């Protein structure tokens, strides 16, 4: 197999998969400083460093995200990155006494009700 002279062997192209409104991670470009710690810690290699310095990483493979959260936990800037859980994972519940709301995936959900059931 011969390679044409036009193709350069030292160039590599990466094309991100299109992200939908249900993308797994949302970056705040005003807060993210492009440190790329999330790129290094991601177990699924979802991200790619942005070629422009100081810009948020590129979400290369959004469908591969496990929603495990180390990328959010390692970020030194609060609010720069957040997980966007799928709708079916966002199970909300509300305490009737206080109207306090919580859901799975919330950073600090309130503790479960440990009262015994009344027969």
Domain 25-103, CATH class in plain words: alpha beta
For the stretch 85-115, pLDDT in tens is 887 777 677 778 888 777 766 667 677 667 7
Q: What is the 3-state secondary structure (H, E, C) of 81-118?
A: EEECCCHHHCCEEECCCCCCEEECCCCCCCCCCCCCCC
Phi, psi of 59 (to 5 degrees): -85, 100
Task: Report the C-alpha gap between 105 and 84 in whole angstroms.
Answer: 9
The strand pairing partners of 70, in sequence order, are none
Candidate ranges 12-16, 72-76, 114-118; pick with highest mean pLDDT: 72-76
Range from 18-22, 64-68, 95-99, 115-119 carrying the lowest mean pLDDT: 18-22
For the chain, what are the domain ranges?
25-103
pLDDT band with cut points at 50, 70 and 90 for residue 1: very low
Average pLDDT of span 1-7: 54
The pLDDT value recorded for residue 71 is: 94
Q: How far, rounded to the nearest angstrom, does the alpha carbon of residue 98 sit from its chain's CA centroid?
A: 31
Average pLDDT of span 72-97: 84
For the chain, state the CA radius of gyration: 20
Q: Are 89 and 83 in contact (CB under 8 A)?
A: no
9 or 35, higher pLDDT: 35
The pLDDT value recorded for residue 99 is: 80
Q: Are 56 and 29 in contact (CB under 8 A)?
A: yes
15 or 80, higher pLDDT: 80
67 or 17, higher pLDDT: 67
């Amino acid at each position: 197999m011969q390679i044409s002279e036009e193709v350069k062997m030292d160039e590599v192209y990466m094309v991100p998969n299109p992200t939908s409104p249900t993308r797994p991670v949302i970056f705040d470009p005003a807060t993210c400083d492009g440190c790329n710690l999330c790129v290094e810690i991601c177990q699924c290699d979802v991200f790619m460093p942005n070629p422009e310095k100081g810009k948020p990483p590129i979400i290369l493979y959004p469908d591969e995200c496990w929603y495990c959260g180390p990328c959010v936990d390692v970020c030194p800037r609060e609010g720069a990155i957040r997980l966007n859980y799928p709708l079916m994972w966002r199970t909300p519940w509300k305490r009737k006494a206080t109207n306090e709301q919580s859901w799975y995936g919330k950073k600090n959900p309130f503790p479960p009700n440990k009262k015994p059931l009344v027969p």
